A and B are shown apart, each in its own frame.
Chain A
Amino acid sequence: SAVISQKPSRDICQRGTSLTIQCQVDSQVTMMFWYRQQPGQSLTLIATANQGSEATYESGFVIDKFPISRPNLTFSTLTVSNMSPEDSSIYLCSAGGGWGGYGYTFGSGTRLTVV
């Protein structure tokens, strides 16, 4: 299965600023997925990123707040814009499902605290 390198692993940011999270996959994948995990909650899908087209956002998430780039088949970024304390969460990227028996893999997560 693929390995995803995600960075930063954690950050503490001031409200009103933006943070860009990067995910690098060690093999080409068609779809990448971005999730948010608020404290004590399960994972919620933010958007699906397909190379060469605009990301598809889930209800409650908008491109102005969470712009996503997918410049090639191995890389994606998620930006959390104009942050507020409510954005404090773990953000995870994911890919996979097409490797014949290994399922989906996840980056190690970005723990974001907004103060």
Chain B
Amino acid sequence: GIQVEQSPPDLILQEGANSTLRCNFSDSVNNLQWFHQNPWGQLINLFYIPSGTKQNGRLSATTVATERYSLLYISSSQTTDSGVYFCAVDLDSGNTPLVFGKGTRLSVIA
């Protein structure tokens, strides 16, 4: 099956710093999503981004489908950005489940 690898596994940032999270996937995909899991366990959908670049406030994401990777950028990090960031892909939109990477655990310290 498809493999999803995320890096780095852990990241500690000083408040205000910028960071880049990476997601590599082993095969062509129909969809790619970035999620943030908060300390209460809720998965928050950040981006649906099978290709191209999107921005939402301090967050932006880029997927280069031909090279099978995606990047999540966090600028001017805040303590509320802490949590686990997951990348997930699917092969057949709606008919097959998302396959998750192992996540990047981000800690932003004041």
Contact = CB atoms under 8 A, between A and B. Distances in A.
> Does A associate with B in a complex?
yes
A5 to B, nearest CB: 13
Interface in B65-110: 86, 88, 90, 92-103
A71 interface: no
Interface string A92-115: 101011100111111011010000
B41 A33 contact: no
Given A30-B94, A96-B94, A103-B31, A43 B86 contact: yes
A63 interface: no
Interface string B14-34: 000000000000000011010
Interface in B24-56: 30-31, 33, 35, 40-43, 45, 48
Chain A: number of interface residues, binned into ranges: 20 to 34
Contact of B33 (A33, A43, A90, A103): A103
A86 to B, nearest CB: 18
B86 A42 contact: yes
Contact of B43 (A29, A101, A109): A109
Interface of B: 30-31, 33, 35, 40-43, 45, 48, 86, 88, 90, 92-103
11 contacts: A31-B95, A33-B98, A43-B100, A45-B99, A92-B43, A97-B31, A97-B95, A102-B45, A104-B45, A104-B98, A109-B41
Interface of A: 29-31, 33, 35, 37, 41-43, 45, 48, 90, 92, 94, 96-98, 101-106, 108-109, 111
